[in-house]
Amino acid sequence: MALVQARTFAKTIEQCRGISTEISAIKTTGDRLTQKPLATIGGKRLFVKEIEEALLSGEVDVAVHSAKDMPTELPKGLAIGAVLPRADPLDALVLPIHLKKLERGTSAIIASLGPTPRVGTGSVRRISQLRRILPQARFDSIRGNLDTRLKKVDARQYDAIVLAVAGLQRLGYTKRISMALPIDLCVPAPGQGAIILEVRSDDR
């Protein structure tokens, strides 16, 4: 996902300004620690710390992030340089691949999953909202890249998983969206669907 977003920015700046770019892939602590829920090991900072260090040291000139992964406070010396046009901000319910898409609404979710499904998501925000319509569901953390998560739900390790619509669309998995969860069922994270460009304050 991170590389796809970086390529999106690179293509945009090359088309608009004629500036050539070089993408530097940096593996973060959040990328490496995939066995534990984020809330228990440090939260959002885990996905940006090493990238921000590279930006401050001059190793890279621009950092590309998912807005929803950004902490609310930036390190001294860094600033938001720009925000790319926002994609669909909604969350998506994804069922095993052989199951049909769902009609929008609470009744369709309950009818498809039953009263006690196992749902893959480590997001406290998503869990707290989905418990209103699935109070007896078992919510289990699911980490790893998008392909890994889809393989897990297709292998029936989960009855459903919850992912960002924008991420599925950017990686070419729009057809895997069983239902885009309307805002009255699940309010998205702040900034979800947007790509942020972080820069050094002195370079603005």
- Give residue-wise pLDDT tens across range 130-187: 999 999 999 999 988 899 999 999 999 999 999 999 999 999 999 999 999 999 999 9
- Indicate which residues carry an active-site annotation: 69
Can you give the pLDDT at residue 120?
A: 97
Q: Report the SS3 class of residue 4.
A: helix
11: containing domain: 2-86+190-203
For the chain, report the end-to-end CA distance as a whole number of angstroms: 26
Among the listed residues 193, 197, 202, the one whose alpha carbon sits nearest the alpha carbon of residue 170: 193
| Average confidence (pLDDT) over 106-124 | 90
- For 13-49, the pLDDT digits (tens) are 888 888 888 999 888 877 676 666 655 555 667 778 8
Can you give the pLDDT at residue 41?
A: 56
Q: Please tell me the least confidently modeled range out of 49-53, 55-59, 75-79, 107-111.
A: 107-111
Q: Are residues 158 and 195 in the same domain?
A: no
* 110 compared with 181, residue with greater pLDDT: 181
What backbone torsions phi and psi does residue 118 show, to the nearest 5 degrees?
-100, 115
Q: Are residues 66 and 136 in the same domain?
A: no
Using the predicted structure, report yes or no on whether residue 116 has a pLDDT greater than 70.
yes
Which tokens sit at 151?
Answer: 């393989």
Which tokens sit at 116?
Answer: 């006690």
Q: What's the chain's average pLDDT?
A: 89
Number of domains in the chain: 2
Report the CATH number at residue 75: 3.40.190.10
Q: Are residues 40 and 69 in the same domain?
A: yes
- For 188-204, the pLDDT digits (tens) are 999 999 999 999 999 86
Q: Are residues 117 and 172 in the same domain?
A: yes
